[in-house]
Structure 1
Amino acid sequence: MTDIRIAGRRRATLLLMGTLALASLPGPSAAQQLTVSREQDITELRLGQKIFVDDGSCPTGQILEVVGATLTSEGLARTRKCVPRVRR
């Protein structure tokens, strides 16, 4: 009976350690954001991906955010908006 309890505790400990290890990995939001100087420099944009364009078209303290928004029959539609510049 005690062997079963020890095996169960080991399994629970390993499961907990694995869960904590996965939780400590950086997620997509923690990934480094790409900044380019011209929108023409964006060669590939994936659905949901955000790329910042520092071309001076937005007011002071803001930067242009280009997002791969939706799939259309012509390809990926982009949305553009000025967002507050975040220090990285």
Structure 2
Amino acid sequence: MRATLALGLLAALTVTAPAFAVDQVSREEDIVELRLGQRIWVDDGSCPTGQIKEVMGTTLAANGNVARVKKCVPRGGTRVR
């Protein structure tokens, strides 16, 4: 019974994990394609200590490009140097 429950939980986490994934790049120029709702963290040092720049695709323009919104958000987890 426990093994079945554990396997079910593992399968559920595997399916939902990509929905919570956030990519991270070192320069904003490294973002080549941004989809609607996608969030990418940019670690370029432009935000205050303890924060990281988040670039998010918000709306679709008439020309087919995705509009970007940039803001500094709290850094998730610890930073390793």
1:76 is the counterpart of 2:66: yes
Higher Rg: 1
CA displacement at 1:66 relative to structure 2: 0.2
Q: How does 1:10-49 map to 2 (within 5 A)?
A: 20=8, 23-27=12-16, 28-29=19-20, 31=21, 33-49=22-38
Q: Deviations over 1:10-49 (max 9, x none)?
A: xxxxxxx8xx4653434111x3x21111111101111101
* Moved beyond 4 Å, runs of 4+: none
Structure 1 residue ranges without an equivalent (≥5): 1-16
For structure 2, list consecutive stretches of 5 or more residues without a partner in the other structure. Answer: none
TM-score by length of 2: 0.72
